[in-house]
Amino acid sequence: MNSIKDLHLEFIKNIMVYSDKFKLLDFKTNDTRIFGLLFFEPSTRTCLSFESAIHKIGGKVLKLDYNSSSKNKGESDYDTIKTIEKYVDVLIIRHPEKGFINECLKFIKKPIINAGDGDGEHPTQALLDLYTINNFYDLFQDKPFKIGLAGDIRYSRTIHSLVYLLNKINKNIEFTFISIPQLLPQKGDEFYNYINNNCKNNICYSYSMNDVKNQLNQLDVLYMTRIQKERMDFTFQNNHQILILSEDLIKNTKDNLIIMHPLPRNDEIPETLDNNPKCKYFDQVENGVYVRMAILHLI
Ligand code: NCD
């Protein structure tokens, strides 16, 4: 089809008629669901594990290539999302702004999955983290359990969602936040308010890297994170002492300690530790597909 000038009148009328037919039939006859992947921020695991999960449950993927999209012509993210809603059955959205997905719920009628909103939340990561932990412990039983969260607690959405989730299912979990003061939860922040209102009796802060060995030796789970430099409105000095794991640091930890990381990592876990049986971050990567299959299936 090159030019409208070449089209026969009959063909044009038929397009109108068939468009009506397809509009009426679409949802009723087509039970293959289309999932829109809208990532306004970089992603490897979340995006590709969703894509893999969609293929495995027999769905179809429509993926926005943000860099070649009409944002280059000045289109807003709002208009982009409103548009893609018309093409898909479910929207999976990642956005750099905290609260953005919550805003989308006001103007989008189709189901939306938050694939990470700024330094807010990352619920599907928390669910796959829970699934990974539960392959070793049963957190649904209200037994005491110690989890250490290290690195960037202030800006890591994975930590925020994981704490909300674990606190929902088991009130006997003790959380130890291991970081430098700048990267611990800050007064006034939503996460700070949440833990102080809901986990008051079971949180512990560790500011001192000197007693970190002692802290680590008590844990059942150690959840590491990278520093979220892209979210900081201050220049982070690399000479700040955050937790960097080593064989020596984990030498006397519990036999059944599991070490987790949502990835990507920077230098907080050296690759030389990857074969240590306590390290489970690539289990998390694999579980991400199964947990996302379950989420998509249930939605
Ligand atoms: C995390 C994220 O995007 O929040 N990665 C992930 O989804 N597996 C962690 C991070 O970026 O540090």
DSSP 236: P
Reduced to 3 states (helix: H, G, I; strand: E, B; else coil), residue 230 is helix
CA distance 104 to 238: 36
Residue 134 has a pLDDT of 96
Instruction: Say how many domains are in the chain.
Output: 2
Q: Is residue 130 part of a domain?
A: no
- Domain enclosing residue 24, as ranges: 4-118+288-298
Q: Is residue 221 part of a domain?
A: yes
Residues 292 and 275 in one domain: no
Distance 149 CA to ligand 1 centre (A): 15
Our answer to whether residue 46 is catalytic in this structure is: yes
Residues 43 and 163 in one domain: no
Q: Is residue 131 part of a domain?
A: no
Residues 92 and 158 in one domain: no
Residues 170 and 113 in one domain: no
Distance 263 CA to ligand 1 centre (A): 6
From residue 208, alpha-carbon distances to 43, 156, 195, 221, 233 in Å are 32, 20, 20, 19, 24
CA distance 185 to 152: 9
Residues 237 and 258 in one domain: yes
CATH label of the domain that carries residue 181: 3.40.50.1370
Our answer to whether residue 94 is catalytic in this structure is: yes
Residues 263 and 294 in one domain: no
Q: Does ligand 1 come within 6 angstroms of the Cβ of 157? A: yes
Q: Residue ranges of the chain with pLDDT lower than 70?
A: 27-30, 234, 236-239
Over the chain, what is the mean pLDDT?
Answer: 93
Residue 139 has a pLDDT of 94
Q: Is residue 11 part of a domain?
A: yes
The answer, as to whether pTM is greater than 0.75, is yes
- φ, ψ of residue 93 to 5 degrees: the values are -125, 135
Residues 12 and 91 in one domain: yes
Distance 264 CA to ligand 1 centre (A): 6
- Cβ neighbours for 183, distance < 8 A, ≥ 6 positions apart: 151, 152, 153, 154, 155, 227, 242
Our answer to whether residue 292 is catalytic in this structure is: no
Q: Is residue 180 part of a domain?
A: yes
Cβ atoms within 10 A of the Cβ of 175, count?
Answer: 22
Q: Is residue 179 part of a domain?
A: yes
Residues 49 and 153 in one domain: no
Q: Does ligand 1 come within 6 angstroms of the Cβ of 206? A: no
Q: Nearest-CA neighbor of 266 among 225, 221, 223?
A: 225
Q: Is residue 125 part of a domain?
A: no
CA distance 99 to 94: 11
Q: Is residue 124 part of a domain?
A: no
Write down the residue that tokens 């959840």 correspond to: 223
CA distance 299 to 295: 6
Residues 256 and 292 in one domain: no
Residue 27 has a pLDDT of 57
CA distance 293 to 13: 42
Residues 55 and 110 in one domain: yes
Residues 142 and 105 in one domain: no
Distance 158 CA to ligand 1 centre (A): 7
Residue 232 has a pLDDT of 84
Q: Does ligand 1 come within 6 angstroms of the Cβ of 98? A: no
Residue 58 has a pLDDT of 94
Q: Does ligand 1 come within 6 angstroms of the Cβ of 261? A: no
* Ligand 1 atom at minimum distance from 43 CA: 3
Q: Does ligand 1 come within 6 angstroms of the Cβ of 151? A: no
Residues 23 and 95 in one domain: yes
Q: Nearest-CA neighbor of 178 among 202, 153, 203, 206?
A: 206
Residue 140 has a pLDDT of 94
Tokens of 157: 């959405």
